[in-house]
A and B are shown apart, each in its own frame.
Chain A
Amino acid sequence: MTEFFSDQLFQLIWNGLFVGSFYALVALGYSMVYGIIKLLNFAHGDIYMLGSFIAFVILGGAVGLFGVASLPILLIVLLITMLLTGAFGVLIEKVAYRPLRSSPRLAVLITAVGVSFTIEYGVRQIFGADPQVFPFRLSGEAFNFLGARISTPQIVLMVIAGLLMWVLQSYIMRSREGRAMRAIALDPRASLLMGVNVDRVISRTFFIGSALAGAAGVMAGTYYGSIDFLMGFTIGLKAFTAAVIGGIGNMQGAMLGGLVLGLLESFGTFALGGEWRDVFTFGCLILFLSIRPTGILGSRVVERM
């Protein structure tokens, strides 16, 4: 038991928090879009994939140009990718979801599946079905902390993720646009009457959500080193799980849910073995939906986003 604590516990917690911060980033977009227009954007995980492929192209160019990529270049690429995936998210909403805003929910959901398919197989047509090697990988020393092996890239990525979430949080809570978003989440009709430009706010929500997913995609690429056109599928499902665990539509909930899911998964994998990881995760999803569909923060937090 003591051995478990010294050797495993902190490692498991650290792994969980690290993976969980990825989930949180993607879950945020899921949750924001859901909060605003009550749409489960199945294509969200594919935006994550798209982000890693965009960065793959740009970084490839940069490596060709400068010979080698470094952290500052990565950060610039990250920003460009976020802008591009954000714009792509806005485009998806305009082309595919906006015409259906008054249609039955089933039609919109099916459209979302179509969008997801289009992105996945569009990328496959361009880059092929085989995994691509990401041109830049963060490297750095690993050190021990309370028995857990922690590497520098992990810390860098977590700092970036934390920073992004902090910026988003203050944007939503402090800015005028953020207030409009919260207003629409509460009552779209009333917001419209109060002069909020609903279309613009929805576009902006898609932009932010997609940009965050794109950022997560870039970070996954630099960390894991290999990307493929289906990599967004599982993470989309897990991000949804995280959003549900935290209380879908709730921003703090999405972040919390991401971390909780990361931890659950880390311990679940330890207990059951890696091959059961996804089964365990989706089992958690079903369990949460059956027992507490509002999630951890769902009912307590009055303010929904």
Chain B
Amino acid sequence: MADKNLLPRLDRLTRITAPQPLFSRPRPLSGLLAPQRFMGLLGLALFIGALVLPFITASPYIISILTSAFIYVMIAMGLNVVVGYAGLLDLGYIAFVAVGAYTSGILSTTLGFTMLETIPFVVLACILAGIVIGGPTLRLRSDYLAIVTLGFGEIIRITATNLSITGGASGIHGIPTWSFFGWSFADGADLFGIHFNAKILFYFFVVIVALGLATVGAARLANGKLGRAWKSVRDDEDASEAMGINGYTAKLSAYIIGAVWGGVAGSLLATHLSAISPPSFEFLYSALILMAVVLGGMGSTPGVIIGALFVSLAPELLREFSEWRYLLFGVLLVVVMIFRPAGLWPANFVLPFLKRRPAAEPVSTTNIPWAQQAKEEAEAEQEEIERMSAVTSTVPDSIPDAVAGVNAISDNPADQEENR
């Protein structure tokens, strides 16, 4: 048996450090047509476009549908973190929107909080809800998780229907609009000679700003340490563990971030609708958000924006089609999964007119001392093999079928159960 004293304490041993890169890398692409810069500028242009829109048309109808569409995009951004980056199918995502909406609604109508003041509580409530829901279920296999989240979505909705604090089946009415430091949007305002009512002010100062922050925030998280951990868990959970990433905490963090995004969007939704009730949080809406993410492209920011705008604006743009849209969405979901699983705008899609990186210059192996040595060794060995080819005595590396069968069972029991 191992004698503990024989073995050195690990922290006494030094760890290897990364060597310096041997070659310089090609400079990153520059100019307007460099993909990253171009997409950033495009996003900025769209953001400014949305900002100046109220100056062009202040039609309450357009502002109203755009407000709900943008809130929808925000919700989809949150679900994208969970489904697109972390690969967790959440079929009850609307529950987090409900938690956010109800938290805001209750605090503002019963305790007189302004909407801005409710936001920290919304974030807190959603973190809590994420932990409560994700904690026990994220250890489960992915398909169990899907159906458990579905159940959780129903639990939240039914609970909201049954409790009196949430207003029961009729919900909460009279949720106020936003106000900053005593100035309420309800008063309206005149800017540059145009009168802005509460709806426009809310759109202008809250929805667009929140959407911009949510989009940039989600994209930044996806590119950093957390995002890499999420994607690695999505791609291969075992390999991810082998890289020192705790799969459970990585998934839980994605779940909580997703919950917070959804909850804040829910709070905005409560303001926009000014009344919330349980039917607004049915499974149907969870499914619609999922469709937005999947149709647009899981893990793709532009894709999710396009998908969410499509799903939310379709009934407005095509009136006669609104009856059929759910059926169509269902069919589309199946068709997309079969023929274009990465969605309309896949995560790694680059617009064709943008600059591409020049093909990497093949580095001559002679530049690398050890590679040159290896090449020589290989050639020497090759000669030797040819010399000895008459006296073939390779060691067999496979064994009879019976044992191979045992191998299939014993070496990889995970294959039997878990492999998708």
Contacts and interface: CB of A to CB of B under 8 A. Distances in A.
Same complex for A and B? Answer yes
Interface of A: 38-40, 42, 95-96, 99-100, 103-111, 113-122, 124-125, 187, 189, 233-234, 237, 240-241, 244, 275-276, 278-279, 282-283, 285-286, 289-290, 293
A63 to B, nearest CB: 29
Given A104-B420, A114-B333, A289-B144, 17 more contacts: A103-B337, A105-B420, A106-B142, A107-B337, A113-B290, A117-B329, A118-B327, A118-B331, A118-B334, A122-B330, A125-B327, A237-B154, A275-B161, A279-B162, A283-B155, A286-B151, A290-B139
A107 B338 CA distance: 8
B338 A99 contact: yes
B43 interface: no
6 contacts: A96-B334, A105-B420, A109-B143, A117-B329, A244-B144, A289-B136
Contacts of B152: 282, 286
Interface string B352-370: 0000000000000000000
Contacts of A116: 330
A173 B87 CA distance: 38
A240 B147 contact: yes
B64 interface: no
A106 B331 contact: no
Interface in B150-166: 150-152, 154-155, 158-159, 161-162
A122 to B, nearest CB: 6
A114 B159 contact: no
B333 A290 contact: no
Contacts of A120: 326, 330
A282 B155 contact: yes
Interface string B79-102: 000010001010100000000000
Nearest to A96: B334
Contacts of B139: 290
B182 to A, nearest CB: 41
A121 B333 contact: no
Nearest to B143: A40
Contacts of A104: 420
Contacts of A42: 147
Closest 10 CB pairs of A and B: A114-B333, A117-B330, A118-B330, A282-B151, A105-B420, A121-B326, A121-B327, A114-B334, A290-B136, A111-B337
Contacts, number: 127
A275 B162 contact: yes
A110 B143 contact: no
Contacts of A189: 408
B416 interface: yes
Nearest to A285: B151
Given A117-B326, A279-B159, A111 B154 contact: no
A106 to B, nearest CB: 6
Contact of A105 (B143, B155, B330): B143
Contacts of A237: 147, 150-151, 154
B327 A106 contact: no
B288 to A, nearest CB: 9
B136 A286 contact: yes
A106 B161 CA distance: 31
Contacts of A290: 136-137, 139-140
A109 B87 CA distance: 12
A40 B91 CA distance: 13
B341 interface: yes
Nearest to A39: B143
Given A110-B89, A118-B330, A118-B331, A279 B337 contact: no
A110 B143 CA distance: 10
Contact of A103 (B151, B341, B416): B341
A293 to B, nearest CB: 7
B323 interface: yes
Given A282-B155, A285-B151, A111 B283 contact: no
Nearest to B156: A279
A212 B150 CA distance: 24
B287 interface: yes
Given A99-B338, A282-B154, A117 B416 contact: no
In this complex, which of A96, A114, A289 has the most chain B Cβ atoms within 10 angstroms of its Cβ? A114
A109 B139 CA distance: 18
Nearest to A233: B283
B180 interface: no
Given A237-B150, A275-B161, A278-B158, A117 B140 contact: no
Contacts of B341: 103, 107
B394 to A, nearest CB: 28
B324 interface: yes
B221 interface: no
Contacts of B283: 233
A305 to B, nearest CB: 15
A111 B332 CA distance: 10
B146 interface: yes
A303 to B, nearest CB: 15
A106 B147 contact: no
Nearest to A293: B140
B129 interface: no
B374 to A, nearest CB: 37
A103 B144 CA distance: 18
Given A104-B420, A290-B136, A114 B147 contact: no
